[in-house]
Structure 1
Amino acid sequence: MPDWLSVFFRAILFVVILFLITKWLGKKQISQLSFFEYVTGITIGSIGAEVVTGLEQSISLGIIAIGTTAAIPFVVGVISLKSKAFRNFIEGKGSVFIKDGKILEDNLKKERYSTDELLELLRKKDVFQVADVEFAVLEATGDLNVLLKKENQPLTPKDLNMKVASTKEPQTVIMDGKILDEPLSTIGYSRGWLNTELEKLGVSLDNVFLGQVDSYGQLTVDLYDDKLQVPSPQEKPLLFANMKKCQADLEVFALSTMNEQAKTMYEKNSQKLQQAINKVEAILKN
């Protein structure tokens, strides 16, 4: 058999052997890597080291071995996309550790995890009591994903029937003391607007290390001089305060007038303004 063909088959053989050994060792031996990524990394590194240190070996044979080894995960990935059974065997499946608030000891033993190790994984998820967990699964990558019981989950605006405005990613408009025109124009602002906002904050452009504009049009900056204190944007709090003041004034006008027509008008507009305040309160107070 030619040397290159021998190397080709040996590379495939050792990848398969290493894969089976790693799968036998379990998910604890890998972190974010899949089985094949883990095995391939070891194999390619070992082959490369052998080629570099083994001067009597042919470099071209080493290149063939590395190329073959690197091609195997690609072929496996293509097959995995077409076959779920093959994908489950190659990449593995998640193992349920906690279900309905109860630890599944058999699954712990199967994955060679002790109770202490399970508790450590839970603590990394900021969970310190097993009784708080509804469901926990050890993924094929070795990560533990946890679903808390409903009463232990943090409150969300949806739970409180609050409407929250959608947000977009902030745009970086200043970097290293220089204005970035493209992201500035993307959000529809000009250099003149930016200079005005910097004047409101009381900072100069050349002292700004990083400046970003959020989805509400507020500019926040990080300065080169960390000792300087930059005031927080006040547009939204001021607008909210003015709306509250106007609504309160309308109520006062309604109480102080003796004209029934004017009283009705003030009360009606006060209610409309209060409804508008309720809609935008979550936006303006955040």
Structure 2
Amino acid sequence: MLDNMFFRIVGSFILLWAILRIIGKKEMGRITYYNLATAAAMGTLAGGLASDTRTNPLYYVGPLLGYFALTYLMGYASLKSITARKIFEGEPTVVISNGKVMENNLRKMRLSTDNLMKKLREKKVFNVSDVEFAVMEPEGKISILLRKENQPVTPKDMNIPVGYQQLPLDVIKDGKIIEENIKKLGITKSWLKEQIKTHNVENIKDVALAQIDTSGNLYVDSRDDYK
């Protein structure tokens, strides 16, 4: 019985993992009505497949694949059709316009003023009058456009030229040198070893993460257990 349960657990895990991989990061990163319903149903079915040893696995596999197919088709339809996107995912809703809270829209979304203020504070906005527009996205996140006078100053505003900035490259991760990235940067292992010593780390193995940015600056984070 235990052997049977073990194989069912492994099988349900692999099946669920494969389904989530096929659905994709975009679907997993969004919280929509059908995603929530499907996730709850698929989780229940996967749990039953793993633990209910008295029932034929196909009774769980069939519905699990069915929910996967529906999720995939809804995602595809949303991608191709604006109408389907509105039905399955909902639409953005303006909750603040020209510094004024849109109470009617809040009521439609069943969102209280307190909840709105909490979401604003999470975006480091404490005064509604500072906001030009605020939009509640279908997945529950809020997007904010501050009034022009309240927007942070950028180099462009001050006519300061800036160079192109790429993402920093990892050169050491979990105590191991990333060979591919040091080749891209044109640096050597010996140079890297000498540089981490300037950050009070003697051994590559004691580095949790090291990165080099576009300007050539080296960031080093040592392991927590490094003395």
User: Do Structure 1 and Structure 2 share a fold, with TM-score over 0.5?
Assistant: yes
Amino acid at match of 1:220: Y
Q: How does 1:35-184 map to 2 (within 5 A)?
A: 35-48=33-46, 58-184=56-182
Q: Which runs of 5+ in 2 are unaligned?
A: 1-28
The range that moved more, 184-193 or 173-182, is 173-182
Distance 1:157 1:47, change over 3 A: same
* SS of aligned partner of 1:79: helix
TM-score, scaled relative to structure 2:
0.74
CA root-mean-square deviation = 2.9
Distance 1:177 1:200 in 2: 17
Percentage of identical aligned residues: 36
Distance 1:150 1:219 in 2: 36
Distance 1:95 1:128 in 2: 20
Amino acid at match of 2:146: L
Are 2:214 and 1:215 equivalent residues in the alignment? Answer: yes
Distance 1:166 1:43 in 2: 46
Distance 2:46 2:205 in 1: 49
Distance 1:100 1:46, change over 3 A: same
* SS of aligned partner of 2:60: helix
> Is contact 2:193-2:204 (8 Å) kept?
no
Q: How does 1:231-270 map to 2 (within 5 A)?
A: none
Amino acid at match of 1:221: V
> Is contact 1:208-1:221 (8 Å) kept?
no
TM-score, scaled relative to structure 1:
0.60
* SS of aligned partner of 1:168: coil
User: How far did 1:38 drift?
Assistant: 0.5
Q: Residues 60-113 of structure 1, C-alpha deviation per residue, up to 9 Å, x if partnerless?
A: 222212211221111122222222112111111011101121111110110111
* SS of aligned partner of 2:164: coil
Distance 1:88 1:219, change over 3 A: same
Task: Count matched residues.
Answer: 198
Distance 1:85 1:198, change over 3 A: closer
Q: Which runs of 5+ in 1 are unaligned?
A: 1-30, 229-286
> Is contact 1:93-1:139 (8 Å) kept?
yes
Higher Rg: 1
Distance 1:169 1:185 in 2: 16
User: How far did 1:207 drift?
Assistant: 6.8
Distance 2:218 2:163 in 1: 18
